[in-house]
Chain A
């Protein structure tokens, strides 16, 4: 049975049975573009689709939908269902480790993914050309799910492939690298799309957007932009799952994922830890409740 039908059936079952109040999935929007969809009525599930343009990491919507302290007070905790790819599913583990919501609040519809097309989400998909993150991907089955759609083939991808494009930058001299990054950040307009699309970036007030300009001013100017990007990458160390949506949404084509993957590699090398495989926090985050690791 095609994935689309399976997802629709599951959504209908969950909504009709009152198990969830909302199913977060994908639909086809204007100009044939795939986009996030929020289905509340079992009669609307026909809107849901699965295709190779399902690039969005829908877990980014979970916190707003589930967190009671965002101005919503209710007796019973909310429950939603969300359609996730393997990369997205790891984000759920990170959010569970950080206590953003309880596991019972999410019905995870995991899809064994064949890869997403380059240009997806903007209506510019080229048939047969996968996104770089998918070329690098070593797992095609979600790590956490309540319902699993499909069975992915085993994929042979080495760790080297995961970090191969970092090697070019690492081989440069410091000043060459500095020049590279400055020319990238020069184009940045501080639209914050990278931050907004990221499931893990959820601080009520971003450190880099404070009214009192504590560490970074508001200028859209090189020093500030660089500190924003490096600071954000650092705050995601051990938390970023590599969905690379930040890079996709950037209107200026800045290769943001290079920073995140560099730190993912460092964390893996130094702490033998990969974000989101288990619901345990990043090794550089401190847990105040118990013994220091």
Chain B
């Protein structure tokens, strides 16, 4: 740099530069009073929408979430801004969390960082750095983002193994309240020594990966109204073939914190976010196998793709210490 300002850290990495913008603490996003959606099967899930208003419409917020229960899995599902007021933008930050609890105390806290131009500053003293276009790129009155770790993670392609599935009803989705799709598969990553962990860890992680898994159960029933002689029905014979296909849709997430030896581990796993079932039923009947009503069937409720995992690519978990911003 020939002109401007540059501060580097002990590793010669950029701390403040007039060629970039620092991400600084804009505030905590407002917790929802209730989840937007939730269910309790398959390990449970809540979808939480937080909001925050920023004073500049062109700036994009970077949310970090805490894990009040770090045995649960969490991820960022969406970050959407809508213009509000005269110059502001209201951002909705959607966080997914496994586990069925809907109480506010179990919801993560969401810390939002953004370039300083989008933050309403208070106080008269401090250090400001400007970009070439005269916009403020660092302002010490808003606490800058400090990162404690960054770890690249990826989920296993399959959230659950079908070999562990319990047998479910084949008739018209009669086993809809099952728990077969509770995620069992994850990848574990070392996040460093336990003594070096932040006082109050906060994480930025986007759940881009998605998976759908399904399992079909089939049943064939023959019945005879009359006499059954050596397997031949003398009277009215009917058959019924039922198939129910149960499915669940998952989003990628991190959580399941464990300590092994002197190190702390987090897992890249899955959160089930929607589950359902579709079915078909075909019946036929005949009197003395000569006359009969024929067959019928019905179905409903399917997913747009089947037994597939998409967007499975390594994403970086950025870690900070939320206690610096409380």
A binds B: no
Q: Which of B's residues lie within 8 Å of A, judged by CB?
A: none
